[in-house]
Amino acid sequence: MKARTWPHPLVTAGTTAGAAIALAPGSLPREALIQGVLLAAFAGIGALIGMLASRFVPWPAARARKVTAVAGGLVIVAMFVQMIWWQLGLRWALGTETLDLGWVAVAAAPSGLVAVGVALPSRIRMIGAVLAAAIALSVAPSPAGAAGSGESVAHKFTAIGAQSTSLRVYGELDTRDVTDRAQNLVKRWQAAGGMHRSAVVVAVPTGSGWVDPDALVGIESRMAGDVGVVALQYSDIPSWQAFLSSSAPARDSAIAVTAALIDAVNRSASPSRPHIYLYGQSLGAVGADAARQWAQDNRSGALCHTVLAGAPAGTASLSAPSTTVLANGSDPVVRWSPRLIWQPPALASGITHDLPTPPWLPVAGFVQASADLIGALSFPAGHGHQYGTEQGHVIPVCPR
């Protein structure tokens, strides 16, 4: 490399800082392309910031620039090796296949754009950094959604894992007022014999209208089949999109169903009325917690228990009475928040430690949690944003 092409120390510092953010430990095993895109994007952004800042700072001698460039390169290599070691540890803990040279090559290749760009003359260098970051960000995958098929969410709710004794009632999305839809759902539950069961669970769906079949199986197993489950769809878009747009539909629908159900049970002349439970996962947990709070304020004592699984960070009470909060330690959804940029996450006391826990680092903590969201649904129950039959097994059986 010619002396005049050694980058300004601020460019080296920016590139190294960006790489450090991208190579910090995450909570889940990651695809090589995602890691490569992340590294190229943030190293490119860091290089660009360094280039802009270097316009206001005198250029030191070529020797000083060479020393800082070589040192920065060695630091990045060391951090890359550390990232590989951390990813190996996550895979060993999960019991999945290990990394190979192909994974390492794909993870490292996109950052070559940044390395080439930094080595070029200043104007070309700036253009290269911008292009590297733009290309990397443009090919970044979107957050994963629940795997789908041609079957409707209503059919999945009533059919998957159901037994001959199952009583599941689902209200699909339509144009009626949410209160009318909730009351109609409860009437259908009553007509199906729900009032003769010992318990009824309001299962608040995710944004797509999906209710985890594992939770339903766990609930019915825990109650020995003597339970009904009702769910009212409030949206038909991926849960993460529904969460980013507004959580109000989840809250409003959960409250409407809970209110209609409590009123119906209270009007019953039967001496043994079913106990009422609330359950929600992900955005559904936001709705379930809102319904719990509403019942606490307006129908005190009407609920038996609430179960919240994988609630998005900061959206639900983590210590409310008669509430069980389930959170996988490797679930980025329960940690993700812009506040991760400057402070560590507030986590539920019962959070599991299913995989090695990464340390919180300013800025990097937010970036890594954001990257982990992409593949959070790609793992077995108990890891990432996947929960199993324990969602139902943790429900306490209240005495009749």
pLDDT of residue 134 exceeding 70: no
For domain 153-328+385-393, give the CATH number. 3.40.50
Higher-scoring residue by pLDDT: 286, 63: 286
Q: Within a 10 A sphere around the Cβ of 302, how many other Cβ atoms?
A: 17
Query: Alpha helix locations (H) across 246-339?
Result: 248-267, 283-298
Intervals of CATH 3.40.50 along the chain: 153-328+385-393
Per-residue confidence at 148, pLDDT binned at 50, 70, 90?
A: very low
Cα 84 to Cα 29, 179, 243, 316, distances in angstroms: 10, 52, 33, 35
141-155, 168-182, 295-309, 386-400, range with the lowest pLDDT: 141-155
Alpha-carbon span 121 to 4, nearest angstrom: 8
Cα–Cα nearest to 118, from 105, 107, 132, 104:
132
Using only C-alpha atoms, what is the Rg of the chain?
A: 26
For all residues of the chain together, what is the average pLDDT?
A: 89
Determine which helix (DSSP H) or strand (DSSP E) holds 155, and give its type and residue range. Answer: helix 153-159
- The closest alpha carbon to 43, from 61, 24, 66, 26, belongs to 24
Q: How does pLDDT run across 258-305, given as a tens digit for each residue?
A: 999 999 999 987 778 899 999 999 999 999 999 999 999 999 999 999
- Top pLDDT among 350 and 388 is at 388
- Which pLDDT band holds residue 116 (cuts at 50, 70, 90)? low
Is 208:237 a contact under the CB 8 Å cutoff? yes
Q: What percent of the chain has pLDDT over 90?
A: 70
Q: What is the pTM of this model?
A: 0.88
* Cβ atoms of residues 280 and 286 within 8 Å: yes
Lowest mean pLDDT among 21-25, 130-134, 276-280: 130-134
169 neighbors 185 (Cβ within 8 angstroms): yes
Using CA atoms, how far residue 271 sits from 154, 195, 268, 277, 397, in Å, is 32, 11, 8, 19, 18
CB atoms within 10 A of CB 109: 14
Kindly state the average pLDDT of the residues 331-339. Answer: 95
Only one residue has tokens 């947990």, namely 285
How far apart (Å, rounded) are the C-alpha atoms in residues 212 and 218?
10
Least confident of 11-15, 88-92, 122-126, 349-353: 122-126
Are 100 and 118 spatial neighbours (Cβ–Cβ below 8 Å)? no
What 3-state class would DSSP assign to 227?
A: strand
Helix (H) / strand (E) element for 306: namely: strand 303-309
